Amino acid sequence: MSATIDINNVTKAYGSLTVLDEISLGIEAGEFIVFLGPSGCGKSTLLRMIAGLESVDKGTISIGGDRIDTLPPGKRGVAMVFQTYALYPHMTVAQNMAFGLENIKIDKAEIRKRVEAAAETLEMSHLLDRKPAKLSGGQRQRVAIGRAIVKEPKAFLFDEPLSNLDAALRSRTRLELAQLHQRLGSTMIFVTHDQVEAMTLAHRIVVMHDRKIEQIGTPMEIYQRPATRFVAEFVGSPAMSMLPIKALEAKAGKTGLDVAGAGMIETTIKLPADFKLDGAAIGLRSEDTFVVNPGEDGLGLTVSVVERLGERTLLYGKLDNGLDLIVEDSGRSTVRAGDRVLVGFDEKALHVFDGNDKAYHWQEEA
């Protein structure tokens, strides 16, 4: 079972502090949506409003075309998986999964059927008679997910469910969640501040910041064509390098961007006549830069730190004007700290941000 979710002009405030300001979002049935953003951006609050754990001050929330923001949590047709597992230690796995259904007087045979089906889906049928103390952290999280599955909800809501797991287990559980969604085909909303989780799991990512939605898009749209400077700097590891623009110069079919002290960078990116220069910057991802051969044109970079990652090498350094830049070289790079190299970049991958933090990107000619 899955359903559409429509959030229309939703606002939430605590006294004089507004934490969500007229949020609107449409989610398709069966879609896996990730709310991504830094701590305090309102992503968990929005999820809790859908679940009915927080009230809606303004606006409406509908599931499957039916308004639910005035209903109690148990009547909304959603199931929530929290950061903490919240399992009953004296109950077995099967009893933990069945408890919620027993409270609403579901037939015992139906409960047994649902628990066994969920356990098979989560590949933990052999754990049904164990108690939580005998389970690993990943197994406990699967029990919490199973407890949600047996409710057969219209939508699943995940509030940072992997944050209590160690790195290796987190990676494995992340893949298990992706596979679970493929098997169930249910509508899922997942809250995280971890961009790797967002890029791995999401059909679409909703990037949130400062009480509002900054951008909605597929993982690669968010990564390759960020709508704002915040999105560009928040998504991606290492972070996008930013080079301040001091002046613009019109050229034949191009625009010259003067990065003071580092030289003129030419681009075919179309910039509006009212482009705000104060606070403008060029954005470069490390994988779109490279070390050029001596004698070729490039920006001068003095390398301070070399990070060898096996398949690639990251060079952290300063341009001749003192600005920081991160450059990618091959895994067999011979560059060492203290070396001075010349750096080139893929002009099509350049990002330009105006003083209002709006992004402009290269457009392929029709």
Per-residue model confidence as pLDDT tens digits over 275-318: 999 999 999 999 999 999 887 888 889 999 999 999 999 999 99
Q: Indicate the average pLDDT of the chain.
A: 91
Q: Is 304 helix (H, G, I), strand (E, B) or coil?
A: strand
- Cβ count near 283 (within 10 Å): 22
**Averaged pLDDT for residues 179-190:** 90
Tell whether the model's pLDDT for residue 63 goes beyond 50: yes
What residue type is 101 in one-letter code?
A: L
Q: Of the candidates 103, 51, 56, 57, which has an alpha carbon nearest to the alpha carbon of residue 72?
A: 51
Is-contact 345 289, C-beta < 8 A?
yes
Query: Which CATH superfamily hosts domain 5-228?
Result: P-loop containing nucleotide triphosphate hydrolases (3.40.50.300)
Greater confidence (366 vs 127) lies with 127
Domain 241-361 belongs to what architecture? Beta Barrel (2.40)
Domain regions of the chain by residue span = 5-228, 241-361
Task: Give the pLDDT of residue 260.
Answer: 73
Lowest mean pLDDT among 67-81, 86-100, 245-259: 245-259
Per-residue pLDDT band for 365 (boundaries 50, 70, 90) equals low
Integer Cα distance of 328 and 18 in angstroms? 41
Task: Give the pLDDT of residue 5.
Answer: 97
Integer Cα distance of 313 and 356 in angstroms? 33
Integer Cα distance of 250 and 244 in angstroms? 18
Instruction: Give Cα 124 distance to the centre of its chain.
Output: 29
What are 207-231's pLDDT values in tens digits?
999 999 999 999 999 999 999 999 9
Q: Of the candidates 328, 329, 29, which has an alpha carbon nearest to the alpha carbon of residue 189?
A: 29
Per-residue pLDDT band for 364 (boundaries 50, 70, 90) equals low
Q: Please state, for a pLDDT cut of 70, what percent of the chain lies above it.
A: 99
Upstream peptide bond of 238 is cis (omega within 30 degrees of 0): yes
Q: Of the candidates 309, 312, 301, 311, which has an alpha carbon nearest to the alpha carbon of residue 337?
A: 301
- Cβ count near 278 (within 10 Å): 8
**Averaged pLDDT for residues 86-112:** 91
Task: Give the pLDDT of residue 289.
Answer: 93
Instruction: Give Cα 139 distance to the centre of its chain.
Output: 24
Integer Cα distance of 180 and 135 in angstroms? 20
Q: Of the candidates 95, 135, 130, which has an alpha carbon nearest to the alpha carbon of residue 115?
A: 95
